[in-house]
Structure 1
């Protein structure tokens, strides 16, 4: 292995690590605020990538019908659990009128001739609302349940989303065109324009999240909820609103990650699970609590995967997932055990 190969593998590792970092940050965010280990985070990535591919091919994306169906289900849950007409009206506007409006717009516009930036916006408009809808239907009714119960529900939601993904997208994989075809030569290393776009976009999104949590009122409310749920509730912060906002941010991160990763590899309906697991390994390195450690762990996972694919490509995933064992042993030895409240 010479310096040129090391540089190429390092480039691939950093690029993949940037995607894993976004997923790890989303997992840490969701767990910190809602105590949910959000296994379907990878499915949001896959649905975002496949929706982008459908728009690029000029076909009507099936995720629109999933959006409409989830909206109707969410509206039914809201109508069953509340008697306030104003609340039901707001729910109908967001969960019924909005999905139908998106479907009408996509039905009327010429999808094949849309510019790339508009396809990205439409992909976000279609898939991102599914995040808070999932929280409202699956997690909000049992928000105070033990973590194990929330984990079981998360696994069930993951399995349902994988099945729906197969139904909507089929078993064929899709890949989109890169955002940039530029090639930049750095000595003997050739860096693709899309690679630079992925790294820059990931850094911008991470900085944006930092500013959101540090400067905005809603960000500070989420931080307060993550630190002390009961204290935040006593200060007038709605745990339900915090949960929906958290899942909205997680969906934004997941869909943008899917849009960024789609030009790098072929995405199938079930590809999100494996990618999400690698983000989960990075989140575990951060203890599901530290954002900087999770981001650093994601880069480590990306580099380990890249170099493992060179030395032992058949075992690269095994090597990556084995990384979680010493991390768990170390945390088990250095952390104090706390019984979960009944």
Structure 2
């Protein structure tokens, strides 16, 4: 390996690590707020990439029908509860958010020339379709069992992953999709050729991380999520709704997943089940951070990206094994240095 190859591999590792860092932050956020190890995080990556690819070909994405279906079920359930509690004034808002907005979005997408839209508009429409799936999944699946043990929540998360993977196959088929590159620019720095796509991915990832930092530090909702992550019982006693915190954390996780899928869609071909492996590598980074530290999770994810890149050069057939083996010494070290505490009631 010469210097030029090392620089190229490092470039790929940093690019992948930036995506893994975003996913690891989302996993840490969801776990600290809801105690859910969000295995389906990778499905939002695949849904984001494949939805954008569908829009660019002028086809209505299958995720749109999933959004309408989940919204209809959630609207029906919440309407029944509102009738039972005699809170009739809530019904228009429930139906408006869960059913009217998805149907309005479907009507908009069905009546505009999707393939001729500019890339920024297509990206915004992709996020508008995919991101609301996050809070809807929390409302229908995890909110009713919010007080269950971490193990039960994990089992349910695995079942959601399997279901979404099957739906992805049904909606998008077994063929992969790859969107056109956002930029064809390249820059030569010394012996290294830096691709503009790489710089765009890293810059977008850093921008989103800074936006998340400002969200948690400067907004009331962000502070509510931080309070819930630190002490769920104390947050409830201070009037912070656990349901609101759960939906908001799933919304942020869905946003991060869909945005990550959009970023990597020009770099690699995405299939209906590609998100699981990508999300799993983000999970390794989150484990390095102990599922509790955002900086350590991001650093661990970048390390995973670099390890994967250099492993592909030295032992390409075993690169996945090498990456996932990293989790073993981390878990052993944490089991020896972390004092066990009972799960919070």
TM-score tier by shorter-chain length is: over 0.9
Cα offset, 1:224, TM superposition: 0.5
Return closer, same or farther for 1:29/1:144 CA change in 2, 3 Å cut-off.
Answer: same
Equivalent residue number for residue 57 of structure 1: 57
The 2-side partners of 1:45 and 1:202 are apart by 14
The 2-side partners of 1:243 and 1:88 are apart by 21
The 2-side partners of 1:227 and 1:173 are apart by 41
**TM-score normalised according to structure 2 size:** 0.98
Superposition map of 1:79-158 within 5 A: 79-83=79-83, 84-158=87-161
The 1-side partners of 2:216 and 2:172 are apart by 35
Cα offset, 1:341, TM superposition: 5.1
**What per-residue deviation string (whole Å, max 9, x for no partner) do you get for residues 6-49 of structure 1?**
00000000000000000000000000101000000000010000
What RMSD in Å do the two structures reach over aligned CA positions?
A: 0.9
- Whether 2:24 is the aligned partner of 1:24: answer yes
- Gaps spanning 5+ residues in structure 1: where? none
The 2-side partners of 1:194 and 1:94 are apart by 36
Superposition map of 1:138-217 within 5 A: 138-217=141-220
Equivalent residue number for residue 267 of structure 1: 270
The 1-side partners of 2:233 and 2:193 are apart by 53
The 1-side partners of 2:253 and 2:259 are apart by 10
The 2-side partners of 1:187 and 1:197 are apart by 20
- Gaps spanning 5+ residues in structure 2: where? none
Q: Find the residue that maps to 1:231 and give its secondary structure.
A: helix
Cα offset, 1:81, TM superposition: 3.1
The 2-side partners of 1:331 and 1:89 are apart by 50
The 1-side partners of 2:162 and 2:90 are apart by 31
- Whether 2:5 is the aligned partner of 1:2: answer no
Equivalent residue number for residue 36 of structure 1: 36
- Whether 2:266 is the aligned partner of 1:235: answer no
Match of 1:314 among 314, 317, 335: 317
The 2-side partners of 1:92 and 1:17 are apart by 40
Match of 2:298 among 295, 298, 305: 295
The 2-side partners of 1:272 and 1:77 are apart by 30
The 1-side partners of 2:11 and 2:90 are apart by 50
- The number of residues matched between the two structures is 342
Cα offset, 1:249, TM superposition: 0.6
**What per-residue deviation string (whole Å, max 9, x for no partner) do you get for residues 266-294 of structure 1?**
00000000000000000000000000000
**What per-residue deviation string (whole Å, max 9, x for no partner) do you get for residues 193-227 of structure 1?**
11111000000000110111111111111100011
Q: Find the residue that maps to 1:38 and give its secondary structure.
A: coil
